[in-house]
Structure 1
Amino acid sequence: MSVVPFEHLACPLDGMPLCREEKSWRCESGHSFDVARQGYVHLLPVQKKRSKDPGDSKAMVSARQRFLEAGFYRPIAEAVTKAALVGAVNGSPLSCLDAGCGEGYYLRQLEHSADHVEWCLLGLDISKWAVLSGAKQDTRANWVVGSNANLPVVSESLDRILCMFGFPVYSEFVRVLRPGGLLIQVDAGQDHLRELREIIYPEVRTESKKVSSAPEGFRRRASEDIRFPLHLAGAESIADLLAMTPHLYRASQEGRARAAALESLSLTVDVCLHTFERV
């Protein structure tokens, strides 16, 4: 398997295609965006930020990296890679965006896929700490600080989009995917990490985040429930899991203290993998 540079970035200010010029990306209007020494480019205009440092913090990114690299979610990564390879043709490159890539774990798993596939990989996240981590670990993919609400990507230039436990913006996904391109979306099921939630919350809600119908502009190709037990031995792994999820901030101080006192925890992983085709 090979990875080639992603060349379909668009200016976040006027939507014009960006061209790489040594250490910057530039559009015909003259807007220029420098490539950081770590290899990523910042394409989130300051006027579109909701805070000074949006997205996951440096600590959350580090916790996610440790947890995922330990292999706890490997069955999810393997299922995502398999779904992304559906319809792949020998010799035809696939352009893939991980929209909300975090520190890039799922993109790196694609790179370990079948030898006959050539990937153009783009990791995008609103957190500069996540993108920085991804760029440090993988120099073959392209890395961008940006927003799903205004993807800095040329229209109809992508073959695949991954959206892992993220914030899908389907109108943007429809715009940047080619007809026939696939959106691979993973959402939490109603029992996902239920045992942890029962510890940190006084009451556990049972609703699922599964998508009940195909979003506008897509048709459903497949849906797969992925469910498996997970045992965490040691306080550090439990702390990393909590820190990489929104539960860290939603839980009360008492709930977080109960989790911090644990030395081991058996959990249920319950997610749904949807594959939607751009019509």
Structure 2
Amino acid sequence: MAVKPFTQLACPLDGEPLQRESNTWRCALAHSFDVARQGYVNLLPVQNKRSRDPGDSKAMMVARQEFLADGFYQPIADAVAGAVLSNTDPSVELNCLDAGCGEGYYLRQLAANSQPTQSLNLMGLDISKWAVQAAARQDKQAAWVVGNNANLPVLSETLDRVLCMFGFPVYPEFLRVLKPGGTLLMVDAGNDHLRELREIIYPTLKPPRPPQHQAPAGFEQGQIQQVHFPVQLPDARQISNLLMMTPHLYRASAAGLARAEQLTELRVTVDVRLSTLIKARHTPAPNQQ
């Protein structure tokens, strides 16, 4: 197995190709971006930030890292790795981006699931610097970038796979950076996802959303897989970690969060939808930037 960092990066200010010189990425128009000591690069310009410290907090990253390290979401990671690598010649290099990578769990699992002959060029991107720092500390094989899905610092038509795990898809940008025939793999919460926890923290549950079957413009719908399994959370710490790594932490009422804090163990259902979207081969990529 050969895992290397993806290097076909674009300047976030002008879209020009970036070249790495020692510990700095530079474009032809003299914009430069230094590699941090942890090994990542920040390609999120200040003017593109919506807040001073966007994305998940440091505490949320610690919670996610502890939760995922215990293997509770391993079946999701295995399903995603299988979808990325399916119908792929192991001798062909794959360029893969995790758009909203968090602390890098799913890219690390992808690398671990690949065949010995498979060459992977990997990049993880997240708007949270805390997430990217955590990812870069744990893994030196991939490229780790602070950036925004709305303005991916990636050259057009250079990626074979894009992952969007419980994230915020920006379909025109994903379309731009994918090669014709490349695939977008999305994981979204299903109707029963964490139902037992939601029943504790909310007075009532919202009715399930009807599934959307129409592919976004420029994509064709591929395989849809439902991943459904139980998880036994053994203690209050992992229950708290799960809550902290979901939007429910901010949506639940104070009374609901108080009820969750009283739990000492909890069995929850994991229910996610893994959907594959294929970039149509005849679709021209939008203009760079």
Task: Report TM bin, short chain.
Answer: over 0.9
User: Which amino acid in the other structure matches residue 21 of structure 1?
Assistant: E
Equivalences, count: 279
User: Which amino acid in the other structure matches residue 2 of structure 2?
Assistant: S
Q: Please give the TM-score of this superposition, normalised by the length of structure 1.
A: 0.98
Q: Please give the TM-score of this superposition, normalised by the length of structure 2.
A: 0.95
Between 246-255 and 235-244, the greater mean CA deviation after superposition:
246-255
SS in 1 for 2:103: coil
- Does residue 189 of the first structure (1) align with residue 197 of the second (2)? no
Counterpart in 2 of 1:156?
157
Counterpart in 1 of 2:252?
251
Mapped contact 1:191–1:206 kept (Cα < 8 A): no
Q: Aligned-pair RMSD on alpha carbons?
A: 1.0
CA distance, structure 2, for counterparts of residue 87 and residue 24 of structure 1 = 37
Evaluate the alpha carbon distance shift between residue 23 and residue 211 of structure 1 in structure 2; reply closer, same or farther with a 3 A threshold: farther
CA distance, structure 1, for counterparts of residue 234 and residue 116 of structure 2 = 35
SS in 2 for 1:62: helix
Counterpart in 2 of 1:36?
36
Mapped contact 2:91–2:117 kept (Cα < 8 A): yes
Mapped contact 1:210–1:272 kept (Cα < 8 A): no
Counterpart in 1 of 2:284?
none
User: Which amino acid in the other structure matches residue 199 of structure 1?
Assistant: I
Mapped contact 2:123–2:144 kept (Cα < 8 A): yes
Counterpart in 2 of 1:137?
138
Residue segments in structure 1 that go unaligned for 5+ positions in a row? none
Counterpart in 2 of 1:179?
180
Counterpart in 2 of 1:5?
5
Evaluate the alpha carbon distance shift between residue 13 and residue 209 of structure 1 in structure 2; reply closer, same or farther with a 3 A threshold: farther
CA distance, structure 2, for counterparts of residue 270 and residue 60 of structure 1 = 21
- The offset of 1:207, in angstroms, is 2.2
CA distance, structure 2, for counterparts of residue 236 and residue 249 of structure 1 = 18
- The offset of 1:211, in angstroms, is 4.0
SS in 2 for 1:111: helix
CA distance, structure 1, for counterparts of residue 265 and residue 217 of structure 2 = 43
Mapped contact 1:189–1:210 kept (Cα < 8 A): no
Post-superposition CA distance 1:85-135 (Å, at most 9, x none):
023223221000000000000000011122121100000000000000000
SS in 2 for 1:204: coil
Mapped contact 1:184–1:273 kept (Cα < 8 A): yes
- The offset of 1:212, in angstroms, is 2.5
Q: Which runs of 4+ in 1 moved over 6 A?
A: none
SS in 2 for 1:115: coil
Identity %: 61
Mapped contact 1:187–1:209 kept (Cα < 8 A): no
- The offset of 1:232, in angstroms, is 0.7
User: Which amino acid in the other structure matches residue 269 of structure 1?
Assistant: V
User: Which amino acid in the other structure matches residue 255 of structure 1?
Assistant: G
CA distance, structure 2, for counterparts of residue 210 and residue 162 of structure 1 = 20
Mapped contact 1:189–1:208 kept (Cα < 8 A): no
